[in-house]
Amino acid sequence: MELNLEPMSPKAFFQGEGGSFHKWFPSDFPMIAHTKVGAGRLLLRPRGFAVPHNSDSSKVGYVLQGSGLAGILFRGSSDEAVVRLKKGDLIPVPEGVTSWWFNDGDSDFEVLLVGDTRNALIPGDITYVVFAGPLGVLQGFSPDYVQKVYNLNGEETDALLKSQTNRLIFKLRQDQTLPEPNRQGDLVFNIYDVVSRDEGSGSVTVVTEKEFPFIAKSGLTAVLEKLEANAARSPVYVADPSVQLVYVASGSGRVQIAGFLGEN
């Protein structure tokens, strides 16, 4: 396939009063499907809540701005972990883990999600499964079936299927509360806590399993590079089969990429 390395802007997947979710779709950018990586950007307004969901890909969340809460439920466990997140935090979300996200602050809470889609339903796309609301997976089954499987009466079945009318992201009322943080250290790591390599006119910070054991569950490594004004990064060559997905968080600049035969 043609090696198209043009910068790619995400498209809106969902937008509402509580926030939005943007994705890089492989149908628009075949290079993403070819390299089997995926990404999305979650933005929650104050009181914005992203309903419980899981996905078919392991991913790492990186907090771009603001602060908020995330709820994590591992497969085979009934103990929910709730963590506090702030700018610079990394939080891996392994495949099949259920999570929810909530902005309990006064400013926007934004998280970049980057995933490994080698085993995904659609290469290059992180497919999400929602449990509640009009898009919930139970909406695909008949009410009679849901009633029998969960041993409910008609009123309970209606409450399960119809009481949540909001879709992916919505605003919680002031009187609605969520569990307080009950876990932190082993699930969340702030990238600014790592000693950066000084590159003269910038810095490079690398977070691997050594610095943050839980990131190994995602199969990914996080790298934060900063360049000062008029600074240039020396050429970087990746010798193994790894794929790099680069997100520009702030500023502007120029990037050159050289192919195997020296083409620019």
CATH class of 11-189: mainly beta
The sign of the CA dihedral 154, 156, 159, 162 is negative
pLDDT, residue 258, reads 83
* pLDDT score of 199 more than 80: no
Q: What percent of the chain has pLDDT over 90?
A: 65
pLDDT, residue 1, reads 57
Residue 34: pLDDT band (50, 70, 90) is confident
Q: What is the pLDDT of residues 58-93, one digit of tens each?
A: 999 999 999 999 999 998 888 899 999 999 999 999
List CB contacts of 25: < 8 A, sequence separation 6 or more: 11, 125
Pairing of strands 37-44, 109-116: antiparallel
Q: What is the pLDDT of residues 157-177, one digit of tens each?
A: 999 998 888 889 999 999 998
pLDDT, residue 71, reads 96
The arithmetic mean of pLDDT across residues 36-46, rounded, is 95
Q: What is the DSSP string of 12-66?
A: EEEEETTEEEEE--TTT-HHHHHHTEEEEEEEE-TTEEEEEEEESSEEEEEEEES
Residue 10, judged by CB atoms within 10 A of its CB (0-12, 13-18, 19+), counts as: middle
Domain ranges of the chain: 11-189
Q: What is the pLDDT of residues 215-262, one digit of tens each?
A: 999 989 999 999 999 998 888 887 766 788 899 999 999 988 887 788
pLDDT, residue 243, reads 82
Residue 140, judged by CB atoms within 10 A of its CB (0-12, 13-18, 19+), counts as: exposed
Phi-psi region of 150 (alpha: psi -120 to 50; beta: other; left: phi over 0): alpha
Q: pTM of the full predicted structure?
A: 0.90
